[in-house]
């Protein structure tokens, strides 16, 4: 669990605006802004005090500014009643916000070359990361992909911050037609990247992790998993992750993540309980088998 | 006037009647980031099993109108980790700790009770009876009074005498009062009710059940009237048996409703998903409710609905 203590605040909305195909809300939340580290997220209550919608909606923090004592901006897409309600907020409305939540992106100690890979709205948390890396003297290269041009988030900002910015779209309406992984190997080679940071859908993270492995460089992924509380109590956002001891656990994306080392996430088993995970039917058999192997060896 | 929020639960006294509900407070650490866990009546742990459990695959939780449908499958690290890591930590923070136990046989429950009795600081054991009984095709213990009573009896026999044992009942049974009486007969010092109500939601986009387990347990304000009815009914039949009431407690007024129905304490469950500081807020709001009504002692509310409006209710039938 992250050491940074989150706070729960009633935060006034500053602005609600459209950014490309997304909505962006900025709220005044000094306690969250001053604690924030890139990769962390907020959990927002929707529908008002007596809402029938009981689970929180969780969004990566896209930008933090010192204005008004500290503001926080997050992006969202209208997907259901909760996000539709959020899109209807106006300035000065109050939002019940908890944050900053989750394990942030670890930053390199030395100035190294970093490639940041984002898919769709998953690009959002990479922007504060890019700023943090630049402040440390790191080279930043962006690779951003989406289904179509309007869903590529903040291409202009990406170009401004990064040494290079490469874009891909499924329909070819912007940048290269195809997936981020179609161009990633080339970017890693050209930029002599030392580390990869990625955020986006699980299948994309799996492919990006494979690419990092091919180049023998470390990768940090921020997983997108549905969360109901964001604080670690509901146990809904579990992902099979291999621990340092080699044992797979059903890790909670909200408090154990959302950032994990890519090679630790068992992408092929996401959505299942792997047979050998701690507490799954096969884990004990496997553990005792290993003991036997050690004894034999 | 500051109302007296202390409440007796059988032999055991709580600083106030608000607890967390099993499975909704993590290990305690998660919520301790938002409030001082020593300030609430008690922290109830996730149901602990003898061995680690990986739980069920995602999706595990779906939102329904005023409710939460869940099928987590008792994911947890097992009793060893609870005793070595979580329990000492909770005690070091000054929390009063109720340990919820779940198992696959009366023997497993008995072993859990023995292990917990050797550890210092366990204030109460709550017996989760909504765990599948492999000997009976995976039906829950709670669905057969005799099986439930056997489990409760095993826990009572193996738990230290000074640790109260509460049986957690489910509303999905044909004779709740009979089940409650059988559990008390078997040695339960009190009852916790209700566990989640069986429910289902289907996702129209994926054409699949909204939780991977198919059916899940419904909690939240959607089930509060069911829970209040269960508490009311059982308190009427067994007025001497202490009850911890739960099911959709979100506000101080909700807590008071359970007390009036006959509960001596309440547990806050899925409201913690929505508001991690719900427990302390409910304590504060409950105190406000008492002040507004000039009630000096929270205990005087317990079962009050049976003494006053109850008569009118019977007349109306």
Domains with residue ranges and CATH for chain A: 7-101 (2.40.30.10), 113-269 (3.40.50.80)
Cα dihedral sign for A248, A254, A256, A262?
positive
Give residue A290's pLDDT.
Answer: 54
Residues of B in contact with A52 (CB under 8 A): 65-66, 221
Q: What percent of chain B has pLDDT over 90?
A: 90
Give me the mean pLDDT over the B189-195 stretch: 97
CA nearest to A230 within chain B: B273
Residue B75 pLDDT > 80? yes
- Supply the pLDDT for residue B96: 96
Which chain A residue's Cα is nearest to B64? Answer: A53
Question: Contact, A127 vs A24, CB < 8 A?
Answer: no
Provide mean pLDDT across the span B139-166.
95
Confidence class of residue B312 from pLDDT cuts 50, 70 and 90? very low
The three-state (H, E, C) secondary structure of chain A, written as one string: CCCCCCEEEEEEEEEEEEECCEEEEEEECHHHHHHCCCCCEEEECCCCCCCCCCCCEEEEEEEEECHHHCEEEEEECCCCHHHHHHHCCCCCCEEEEEEEECECCCCCCCCCEEEEEEEHHHHCCHHHHHHHHHHCCCEEEEEEEECCHHHCCCHHHHHHHCCEEEEEECCCCCCEECCHHHHHHHHHHHHCCCEEEEEECHHHHHHHHHHHHHHCCCEEEEECCCCCCCCCCCCCCEEEEECCCCCEEEEECCCCCEEEEHHHECHHHCCCCCCCCCCCCCHHHHHHHHHHHHHHC
CATH number for the domain spanning B139: value is 3.20.20.70
ipTM beyond 0.85?
Answer: yes
Residues belonging to chain B with any Cβ–Cβ distance to chain A shorter than 8 Å: 23-26, 29-31, 33-34, 51-61, 63, 65-68, 70, 72, 75-78, 212, 220-221, 270-277
Is position B60 within any domain? Answer: no
The fraction of chain B above a pLDDT of 70, given in percent, is 97
CA B107 → CA A22, A89, B244, distances in Å? 56, 55, 26
> For residues A237 and A224, what is the distance between their CA atoms, to the nearest angstrom?
9
A136 vs B213, residue with greater confidence: A136
Question: Is there a contact between B158 and B113 (Cβ–Cβ < 8 Å)?
Answer: yes
Q: Which residues of B touch A42 (CB under 8 A)?
A: none
Tell me if chain B has a CB within 8 Å of the CB of A284: yes
Residues B51, A279: C-beta atoms closer than 8 Å: yes
Residue B314 forms part of a structural domain: no
Q: Establish if B212 belongs to a structural domain.
A: no
Cβ neighbours of B23 in A, within 8 Å: 235
- Per-residue confidence (pLDDT) for residue A20, from 0 to 100: 79
**Contacts with B274 from chain A: Cβ below 8 Å:** 45, 54-56, 229
Given a cut of 60, whether residue B228 has pLDDT beyond it is: yes
Among the listed residues B27, B70, B100, B131, the single catalytic one is B131
pLDDT of residue A285: 59
As a whole number, mean pLDDT of residues B147-167 equals 97
Residue B27 lies in a domain: yes
Neighbours of B115 (CB within 10 A): 19
**Contact: A54, B273; criterion CB under 8 Å:** yes
pTM value is 0.93
Under a CB-based contact definition with an 8 Å cutoff, are residues B149 and B186 in contact? Answer: yes
Residues ≥6 apart with Cβ < 8 Å to A288: none
Residue B66 within any structural domain of the chain: no
Does residue B79 have a known ligand-binding role? no
How far apart CA A89 and CA A71 sit, in angstroms, is: 16
Candidate from A55, A98, A233 with C-beta closest to B24: A233
Secondary structure of residue B52 in the 3-state scheme: coil
**pLDDT tens over chain A, length 297 residues:** 555 799 999 999 999 998 878 999 999 999 999 999 999 999 999 999 889 999 999 999 999 999 999 999 999 999 899 999 999 999 999 999 999 999 999 999 999 999 999 998 889 999 999 999 999 999 999 999 999 988 988 888 999 999 999 999 999 999 999 999 999 999 999 999 999 999 999 999 999 999 999 999 999 999 988 999 999 999 999 999 999 999 999 999 999 999 999 999 999 999 999 999 999 988 775 555 555 444 443
Expressed as residue numbers, the domain containing B104 is 7-55+75-201+219-306
Tokens 């909504």 sit at which residue?
Answer: B130
The H or E element that residue B67 is part of is strand B67-70
Token pair of A40 as six digits: 């962390």
Mean pLDDT (chain B, rounded)? 94
| Per-residue pLDDT band at B134 (split at 50, 70, 90) | confident
| pLDDT at residue number B266 | 98
Q: Report the domain count for chain B.
A: 1
Mark yes or no for CB contact A229/B56 under 8 Å.
no
**Which residues of A fall within a CB distance of 8 Å from B56?**
273
The pLDDT score that the predictor gives to residue B135 is 84
| Residue B214 domain-assigned (yes or no) | no
Q: Which secondary-structure segment (H or E) carries B243?
A: strand B243-246
Residues B12-24: tens digit of each pLDDT:
899 999 999 999 9
Average the pLDDT over B196-206 and give the result.
94
Using the 8-state DSSP alphabet, how is residue B47 labeled? P
pLDDT band at B307 (very low <50, low <70, confident <90, very high): confident
The answer to whether residue B211 sits within a structural domain is no
Distances (CA, A) of B165 to A14, A116, A245, B126: 52, 54, 37, 6
CA-nearest of A121, A6, A8 to A62 is A121
B131 a catalytic residue: yes
Return the pLDDT at A297.
Answer: 39
Which chain B residue is nearest to residue A280, measuring alpha carbons? B54
pLDDT at B310 over 50: no
Which has the higher per-residue pLDDT, B70 or A20? B70
pLDDT at A248: 95
Exposed e or buried b per residue across B78-97, where buried means at least 16 C-beta atoms within 10 angstroms of its C-beta: ebeebbeebbeebbeeebbb
Q: How confident is the model at residue B309 (pLDDT cuts 50, 70, 90)?
A: low
In a domain, B247, yes or no: yes
Inform me whether the C-beta atom of residue A231 falls under 8 Å from chain B C-beta atoms.
yes
- Hey, of A234, A253, A283, which one would you mutate to test binding to chain B, going by the most B CBs within 10 A of its CB? A234
A287 Cβ under 8 Å from any chain B Cβ: no
Q: For residue A196, give every residue at least 6 positions away whose Cβ sits within 8 Å of its Cβ, in sequence order, or none.
A: A114, A115, A116, A117, A188, A208, A211, A212, A217, A218, A219, A220, A262
A253 in contact with chain B, both atoms CB, cutoff 8 A:
no
């Amino acid at each position: 669990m992250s050491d940074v203590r989150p706070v729960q605040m009633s935060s006034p909305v500053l602005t609600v605006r459209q950014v490309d195909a997304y909505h962006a809300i900025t709220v005044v939340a000094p306690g969250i802004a001053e604690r924030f580290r890139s990769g962390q997220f907020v959990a927002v209550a929707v529908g008002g005090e007596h809402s029938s919608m009981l689970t929180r909606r969780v969004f990566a923090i896209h930008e933090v500014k010192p204005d008004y004592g500290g503001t926080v901006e997050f992006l969202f897409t209208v997907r259901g009643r909760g996000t539709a309600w959020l899109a209807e907020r106006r300035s000065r409305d109050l939002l019940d916000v908890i944050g900053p939540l989750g394990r942030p992106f670890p930053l390199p100690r030395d100035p190294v070359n970093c490639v940041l890979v984002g898919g769709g709205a998953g690009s959002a948390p990479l922007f504060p990361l890019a700023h943090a890396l630049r402040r440390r003297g790191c080279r930043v290269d962006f690779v951003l992909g989406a289904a179509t041009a309007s869903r590529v988030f903040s291409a202009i900002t990406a170009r401004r911050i990064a040494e290079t910015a490469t874009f891909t779209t499924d329909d070819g309406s912007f940048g290269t037609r195809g997936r981020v992984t179609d161009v990633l190997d080339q970017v890693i080679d050209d930029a002599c990247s030392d580390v990869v940071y990625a955020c986006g859908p699980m299948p994309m993270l799996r492919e990006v992790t494979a690419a990092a492995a091919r180049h023998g460089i470390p990768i940090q992924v921020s997983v997108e998993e549905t969360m109901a509380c964001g604080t670690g109590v509901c146990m809904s956002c579990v992902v099979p992750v291999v621990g340092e001891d080699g044992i797979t656990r059903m890790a909670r994306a909200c408090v154990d993540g959302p950032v994990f080392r890519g090679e630790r996430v068992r992408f092929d088993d996401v959505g299942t309980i792997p047979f050998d995970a701690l507490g799954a039917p096969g884990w004990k058999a496997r553990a005792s088998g290993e003991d036997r192997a050690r004894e034999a060896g | 006037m500051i109302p007296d929020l202390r409440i007796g639960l059988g032999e055991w006294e709580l600083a106030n009647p608000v607890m967390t509900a099993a499975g909704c407070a993590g290990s305690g650490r998660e919520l301790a980031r938002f409030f001082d866990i020593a300030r609430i009546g008690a922290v109830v742990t996730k149901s602990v099993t003898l061995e680690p459990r990986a739980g069920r695959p995602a999706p595990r939780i779906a939102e329904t109108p005023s409710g939460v449908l869940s099928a987590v499958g008792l994911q947890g690290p097992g009793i060893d980790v609870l005793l070595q890591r979580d329990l000492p930590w909770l005690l070091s923070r000054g929390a009063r700790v109720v340990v919820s136990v779940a198992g696959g046989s009366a023997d497993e429950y008995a072993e859990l009770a023995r292990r917990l009795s050797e550890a210092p600081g366990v204030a109460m054991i709550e017996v989760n009876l909504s765990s599948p009984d492999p000997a009976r095709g995976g039906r829950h213990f709670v669905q057969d009074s005799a099986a439930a009573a056997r489990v409760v009896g095993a826990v009572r026999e193996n738990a230290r005498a000074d640790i109260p044992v509460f049986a957690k009942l489910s509303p999905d049974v044909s004779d709740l009062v009979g089940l409650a009486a059988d559990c008390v007969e078997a040695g339960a010092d009190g009852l916790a009710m209700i566990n989640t109500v069986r429910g289902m939601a289907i996702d129209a986009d994926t054409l699949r059940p909204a939780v991977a387990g198919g059916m899940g347990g419904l909690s939240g304000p959607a089930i509060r009237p069911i829970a209040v009815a269960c508490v009311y009914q059982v308190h009427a039949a067994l007025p001497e048996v202490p009850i911890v009431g739960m099911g959709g407690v979100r506000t101080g007024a909700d807590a008071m409703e359970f007390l009036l129905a006959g509960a001596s304490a309440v547990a806050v469950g899925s409201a913690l998903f929505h508001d991690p500081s719900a427990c302390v807020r409910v304590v504060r709001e409950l105190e406000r409710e008492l002040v507004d009504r000039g009630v000096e002692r929270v205990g005087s509310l317990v079962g009050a609905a049976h003494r006053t409006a109850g008569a009118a209710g019977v007349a109306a039938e």
